[in-house]
Structure 1
């Protein structure tokens, strides 16, 4: 789905998905970007992480590909203000390189990222088999439903509308049985506009953005079934605490990827979600883990 419109004052202009990853180089290890809102008045964490990874990757010579990242969300980001990304070149080894990035607003760190890069090498391979779930072409587009049910919220969500999503119903053929105490959801995702074929860093950064769209809601499925549109007023408070990813095989984020997600634990106001990304050929291309703040709003807060 392609969007081309002007954002509100202070926000970035979002015309295509690649605009969500765009950052400006201020100095050798210093970059600046803008992020749209995820929750009201909070920058979307997946975009902050993706821009931080973009900054890290731009300090390396070609030939090293990111294979893992670990990030911590420290403070809510302000979507009305730019974010500065400070890169620390921790190590450049013969095979591996490490970067640490701090995202800063108003002289305070809002997010930290550690990312590891390596040179590709040949080795034996194995993976978990992708479940035989329905393909994206068999599933409805949820965005028209969102637009009809909440036009104002849909119009504000310019960033999310530059991507494509297809939710797989729980009773679909081929869905793995849900284990007791382990809610799950399966979603097909891709960017809504093509990405350059010769930029593997951009593909990984795009998937970093996509990986933060539904993991948090997976941790709260036992409290409230997911809906792409927000409830008014929301019953659940969700916020990403930390996020980790591992990239196993080359992929394209502008082609359909199945995001198989499960949440094995929720306790102490926190939920854990595990996710696996498969391409349409059944290859496991990436894995993600996220811990999320999960709180039920008190009745007085919900009106």
Structure 2
């Protein structure tokens, strides 16, 4: 389970609920980790017995060169260290994957091509540090409705094009069903990602309309919407991907529900909508 699915849980509550719910692994977010400190978070993760899958999220470096961009790059450097530390603290099989959301158009800009080029520049700057730390930078393409304010990388192809100059263990991609299900090129691009060893994490949740006013929080439990998990999951599995499948849901109603209820419901819906299409035994992470 990605911790965002129970957004209002603090680190202890998230670790306890996920472990008690029978999950084997958890993806963490930086803010709850920073609330208690990196060393203490690593200790609590180790004590939980859970594997660590991903740290969310970084990036947001599309602005022109200047103090704001320098601050963003430095923050991503710190996050690389956080990812490495948490991966070392997790149970055996943990993965040091740091999820990157590129960022939207800088204020006053309409040049999406230029903004995307700055993502490439940031990757070139951060990749050597990620490699030294044993961390994979996982570029996450977001649905095009977020291109202006959150992420100028909107397709898996764009993410893979950005990743290609680097070794696959250093820069990979996040395959998130919510963001890529609509893309007519998604299946060949999943195959391409698998052939080059760049699927760093596979995340699932569902898409359902009408969307709420805050479209960011419009994700649903697997099976409650229109996404074809059979086809997408089979495509990911066909590449040989053997990592955890991470459920990440942003939804106000789900966030306001009791954590244990959400943990149980997530496992139930995942088992029904995604689990049957996994070549390996169901892994609830």
TM-score, length of structure 2 as denominator length: 0.27
TM-score, length of structure 1 as denominator length: 0.26
Larger radius of gyration: 1
Which structure dedicates a bigger proportion of its chain to helix?
A: 2
Which structure dedicates a bigger proportion of its chain to strand?
A: 1
